[in-house]
């Protein structure tokens, strides 16, 4: 039903590249050029300015892009509404998620969602919180799940699920037989943390300050750029590590790692669902309802239990 030339234009306009648009749409670059030429002929105006290997939108192209975004959103809503009449769910849902969410939180619920809504095509972009917000503002995704909130006035933030940062240690570590250690013991133990500038480290640093502890008070053995790097390091080291409970769920269930509570210290944060203010994307709302039901069944006390 939708004029494919408009979709081609939209993709080229967002990527500012005929080559990238061709790859994304699974058509040849000459086919992209043909569709754009036909659309420009129909509209009697140039939509792109070409300078060597680079392209940019003309003023007419910028106007066309704004209307194309509205038309595509309306078409997605039309597709949703018509399928809903038949008791079916179908269409394209474009998601974005920050690193921890994309790697550990979203995949299990995506698998279950696909089992129930097989006709919904889902794509998932990965990036940091700022990148996902940019994709949303740029209308490249309908829904984002992020680890923080920057309070952008064009974005609606709603709590998605709560995360806990837990202290973990290898099951054969001398401290593994205990359930709890003191803050002074935490300070003395070699510790692995996420890299400076990461959202996880910011949350940890804030929580520590509330109990009078600075990062410089800790015995940090190394700052690493990903949680997977931390987990791999732990397999060869007697360090402790502070990580998201979602990131070590499988290791805790298998008895490979154990959680140690720290007296007087609890580190929690919210993951947020982000949507454009005023947006009414029904597939995104359907996914949110499904995901929240899924995580309502996963209580964090149960997740963080050590294997016995």
Question: What does residue 201 show for φ and ψ, rounded to 5 degrees?
Answer: -65, -35
Say if residue 143 is exposed, middle or buried (CB neighbours under 10 Å; 0-12, 13-18, 19+): buried
Topology annotation, domain 163-269: D-Maltodextrin-Binding Protein; domain 2 (3.40.190)
Could you tell me if 147 and 130 are in contact, meaning their C-beta atoms sit under 8 angstroms apart?
no
Tell how strand 155-170 and strand 257-262 pair up. Answer: antiparallel
Domains 4-69 and 163-269 share a fold: no
Q: Does domain 85-161+270-299 have CATH number 3.40.190.10?
A: yes
pLDDT in tens, the chain (308 residues): 568 999 999 999 988 999 999 998 999 999 999 999 999 999 999 999 988 889 999 999 999 999 998 898 888 778 878 877 777 778 889 999 988 899 999 999 999 999 999 989 999 999 888 889 999 998 889 999 998 777 788 999 999 999 999 999 999 999 999 999 999 999 999 999 998 877 788 889 999 999 999 999 999 999 998 899 999 999 999 999 999 999 999 999 999 999 999 999 999 999 999 999 877 788 899 999 999 988 876 554 556 566 54
What CATH number is given for 4-69 in this structure? 1.10.10.10
Question: Domain map of the chain by residue range?
Answer: 4-69, 85-161+270-299, 163-269
Predicted pLDDT at 308? 41
* DSSP string for 193-235: EEPTT-HHHHHHHHHHHHTT--GGGSEEEEEESSHHHHHHHHT
Residue 293: beta bridge partners? Answer: none
- Of the candidates 267, 263, 252, 230, which has an alpha carbon nearest to the alpha carbon of residue 176? 252
Question: What does residue 178 show for φ and ψ, rounded to 5 degrees?
Answer: -100, 160
Could you tell me if 166 and 247 are in contact, meaning their C-beta atoms sit under 8 angstroms apart?
no
């Amino acid at each position: 039903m939708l004029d494919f030339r408009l979709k081609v234009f939209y993709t080229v306009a967002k990527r500012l590249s005929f080559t990238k648009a061709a790859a994304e749409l699974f058509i040849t670059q000459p086919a992209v050029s043909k569709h754009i030429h036909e659309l420009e002929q129909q509209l009697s105006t140039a939509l792109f300015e070409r300078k060597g290997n680079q392209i940019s939108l003309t003023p007419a192209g910028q106007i066309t892009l704004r209307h194309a975004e509205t038309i595509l959103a309306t078409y997605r809503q039309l597709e949703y509404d018509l399928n809903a009449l038949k008791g079916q769910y179908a269409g394209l849902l474009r998601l974005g998620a920050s690193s921890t969410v994309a790697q550990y939180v979203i995949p299990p619920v995506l698998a279950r969602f696909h089992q129930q809504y097989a006709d919904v095509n889902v794509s998932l972009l990965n990036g940091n919180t700022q990148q996902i917000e940019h994709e949303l503002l740029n209308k490249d995704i309908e829904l984002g799940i992020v680890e923080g909130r920057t309070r952008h006035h064009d974005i609606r933030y709603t709590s998605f699920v709560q995360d806990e940062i837990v202290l973990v240690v290898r099951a054969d570590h001398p401290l593994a037989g205990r359930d709890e250690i003191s803050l002074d013991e935490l300070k003395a133990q070699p510790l692995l943390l996420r890299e400076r500038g990461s959202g996880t480290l910011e949350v940890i640093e804030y929580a520590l300050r509330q109990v009078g502890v600075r990062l410089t008070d800790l015995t940090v053995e190394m700052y690493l750029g990903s949680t997977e790097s931390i987990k791999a390091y732990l397999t060869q080291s007697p360090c402790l590590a502070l990580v998201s409970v979602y990131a070590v769920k499988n290791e805790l269930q298998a008895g490979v790692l154990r959680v140690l509570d720290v007296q007087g210290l609890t580190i929690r944060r919210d993951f947020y669902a982000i949507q454009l203010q005023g947006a009414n994307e029904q597939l995104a709302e359907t996914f949110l309802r499904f995901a929240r039901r899924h995580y309502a069944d996963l209580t964090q006390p149960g997740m963080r239990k050590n294997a016995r």
